Amino acid sequence: MQRLKAALTCVLLVALTAASVSVLLLVRTATAVVAAMPGQIQATRAALLTEIQATRVDLTGQIESARQDLLGRTERQAAALRGDVMGEVSEIRKAADRRVGDTLARVDAALGQVDALRADLKPTLENTASITAHLNDASAILFRRDALPAQILGVTAAAKVTLGQTAETMRDVQRATPRILSTWDEIGANV
């Protein structure tokens, strides 16, 4: 009977250790993914802003070049055509500014969604940190030899709590995943 009890205790400890390692690996992976998202978002926004500025400079240069060509070729007709040409240039600039403004509005909307996603994931990360702390406490208690039956009871209770919190975390991740994918699809479409 004692051997069976000791064998079952060993099997339980091995199973709990494996579960703890799996949860720790999951926590590290989730933390790495969430930590990488703001940097990627900022890099994408910086690249978009650079492209928009280059487009604006290019459009301004092209407009100025067209204006110079027009004035050089039509000096005799410049007085009559000047008002029309300047009106066209103004419309082109307005259209370019409007397009750039629309693009920036889309980028800001996508960044707002990403910030909302970060806020949604914050409780999940806090739960993950709590789980990690519980696991660290449980492993410290687990390897004391003077209170093995009490440790087994405590580890069992901690495992039950940990599994419940892990289920909540997975449910939060499952709920957030479609919005993450949708946000990245929108960013890709806007780029």
Phi, psi of 149 (to 5 degrees): -65, -40
Cα(125)–Cα(107) distance, integer angstroms: 26
User: Of 102, 99, 72, nearest to 85 (Cα)?
Assistant: 72
For residue 54, pLDDT over 80 is answered with yes
133 φ/ψ angles, rounded to the nearest 5 degrees: -65, -40
Q: Is the pLDDT of residue 91 over 80?
A: yes
- One DSSP character per residue, 90-140 reads HHHHHHHHHHHHHHHHHHHHHHHHHHHHHHHHHHHHHHHHHHHHHHHHHHH
Who has greater pLDDT, 153 or 164? 164
Task: Examine the pLDDT at 141 and tell me if it is beyond 80.
Answer: no
Specify the pLDDT at position 149: 66
| DSSP string computed for 39-86 | HHHHHHHHHHHHHHHHHHHHHHHHHHHHHHHHHHHTTTTHHHHHHHHH
User: Is the pLDDT confidence value at 98 over 60?
Assistant: yes
| 165, 130 contact by CB (below 8 A) | yes
Looking at residues 80-105, what average pLDDT do you find? 80
The pLDDT, as a whole number, for residue 38 is 83
Return the percentage of the chain with pLDDT > 90, whole number. Answer: 5
The model's pTM: 0.28
Whether 85 has a pLDDT exceeding 70, the answer reads no
